């Protein structure tokens, strides 16, 4: 029993990690009042950017950074269209996903099948010695350990720093924030672009740690799952962790079932994460906690005059 469960839980943490980065990124964006449905495309582009940078420089850390920066670049397009030009946030996000998917397939051609230096798992000193928990949480790659810290930072940022409080204020009532002397437009730019950086890190994880090979379609719907998880998590980082690992668990379980050669056709198994996403949305809607959404989410700030 444990021989099956411990590797499964360990795999859960690994496949939940990119989703966790992306979910926190989208949560950051939405906290500022902007809905960004481009996560799927941003993850794809940043996975490629991370792979490329790591391939060229030989440094996976530079790759990780490049992934984050690619996410920021994509996010700034969204910010420009929605925050400055008052474009429709839903459609702009979709456009970003369309663009990102295209760019990744187009620019990724020369790298398909190549390998780049990535992050390898290692036993975290001391902590990996803990029975069971050590096996599950502390025998991964460096990026998993980084992802343990980020939800805490995220929480700290929104609860304890003035910048975080200001960002949340523009997500709730931009007009009131402006009246209080804040700069809602700048704060929204910040939320979208910082969120894009986190989403980009999630994309980078896919090509640097999840696989070290470049293949097309790495994001495989994870971006959309992240968008759904933000709702499921009621815009709270702690619940985002739970949600991301839930999906990581289903993905890992589904892979294991396939590898074990069950009689179920693989296409039906592959449906599991997508069915679960719908189920998760139903569950969070059923709990009826809409109030937790930033009040100004999805609405643009109209300029006066």
Partner 1 sequence: MLKIRKRDEPWKWGALVVFLGALLFSLVLSALLLKGQGKDAMYGMTVLWQGSFGNVWSLEDVLLKAIPLFLCSLGVAVAFRMQIWNIGAEGQFALGAIGATWMALAFPDLPRFVLLPLMFIMAFILGGIWALIPAVLKLKLRVNEIISTLMLNYIAILLLDYLVFGVWKDPASFGFPMTPEFTAGAIIPGIAGSRVHWGIVFCVVVGIGLWAFMRFTRLGFELKASGEGARVARYAKIRYGMLVLLVMALSGGFAGWAGCVETSAILNRLQPSLMVGYGYTAIVVAWLARLEPLNIAFASFLLAALRVGVENMQLKLQIPAAFGTIMEGIILLTVLAGQFFLTYKLVRKPRQE
DSSP string, 31-90: HTT---TTHHHHHHHHHHHHHHHHHHHS-HHHHHHHHHHHHHHHHHHHHIIIIIT---HH
Tell me, rounded to whole angstroms, the distance of Cα 156 from its chain centroid. 19
Q: Rule CB under 8 A: choose which of 180, 290, 295, 299 binds partner 1.
A: 290
Q: Between 41 and 70, how does the x/- string for binding to partner 1 read (CB under 8 A)? A: x-----------------------------
Name the 3-class secondary structure at 294: coil
Q: Rule CB under 8 A: choose which of 268, 292, 295, 299 binds partner 1.
A: 268
If one asks whether residue 80 binds partner 1 (CB under 8 A), the answer comes out as yes
From 13-21, 133-141, 155-163, 226-234, give the range in contact with partner 1 by CB under 8 A. 226-234
Q: Between 159 and 188, how does the x/- string for binding to partner 1 read (CB under 8 A)? A: ------------------------------
Closest CB 101 distance from partner 1, rounded Å: 6
Window 82 to 121, contacts with partner 1 (CB under 8 A): 84-88, 90-92, 94-96, 98-107, 109
In whole angstroms, give the CA distance from residue 215 to residue 113: 6
In DSSP terms, 115 is beta-bridged to 213
The token pair that represents 189 in the structure block: 């730019």
Closest CB 89 distance from partner 1, rounded Å: 10
Closest CA to 192 of 268, 79, 71: 79
- Which contacts qualify for 153-160: CB closer than 8 Å, 24 or more apart? 154/24, 154/27, 154/28, 154/237, 155/237, 155/238, 158/31
Q: Rule CB under 8 A: which residues touch partner 1?
A: 37, 41, 77, 80-81, 84-88, 90-92, 94-96, 98-107, 109, 221, 224, 227-228, 231, 265, 267-268, 270-271, 274-275, 277-278, 281-282, 285-286, 290, 303, 305
């Amino acid at each position: 029993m444990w021989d099956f469960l411990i590797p499964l839980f360990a795999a859960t943490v690994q496949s939940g990690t990119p989703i966790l980065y992306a979910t926190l990124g989208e949560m950051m964006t939405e906290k500022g009042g902007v809905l960004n449905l481009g996560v799927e495309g941003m993850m794809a582009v940043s996975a490629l950017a991370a792979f490329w940078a790591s391939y060229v420089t030989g440094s996976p850390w530079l790759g990780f950074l490049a992934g984050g920066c690619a996410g920021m670049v994509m996010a700034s397009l969204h910010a420009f269209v929605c925050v400055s030009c008052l474009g429709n946030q839903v459609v702009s996000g979709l456009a970003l996903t369309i663009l990102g998917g295209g760019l990744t397939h187009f620019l990724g051609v020369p790298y398909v099948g190549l390998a780049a230096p990535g992050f390898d798992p290692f036993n975290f000193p001391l902590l990996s010695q803990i029975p069971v928990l050590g096996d599950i949480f502390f025998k991964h790659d460096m990026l998993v350990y980084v992802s343990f810290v980020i939800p805490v930072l995220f929480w700290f940022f929104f609860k304890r720093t003035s910048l975080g409080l200001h960002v949340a204020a523009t997500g709730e009532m931009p007009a009131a924030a402006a009246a209080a002397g804040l700069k809602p437009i700048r704060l929204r730019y910040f939320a979208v672009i910082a969120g894009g950086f986190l989403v980009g890190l999630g994309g980078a994880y896919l090509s640097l740690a999840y696989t070290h090979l470049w293949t097309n379609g790495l994001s495989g719907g994870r971006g959309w799952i992240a968008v759904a998880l933000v709702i499921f998590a009621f815009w709270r980082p702690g619940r985002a962790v739970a949600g991301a690992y839930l999906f990581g668990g289903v993905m890992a379980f589904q892979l294991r079932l396939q590898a074990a050669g069950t009689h179920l056709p693989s296409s039906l198994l592959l449906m599991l994460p997508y069915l679960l996403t719908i189920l998760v949305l139903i569950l969070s809607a059923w709990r009826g906690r809409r109030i937790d959404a930033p009040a100004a989410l999805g609405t643009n700030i109209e300029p006066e005059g």
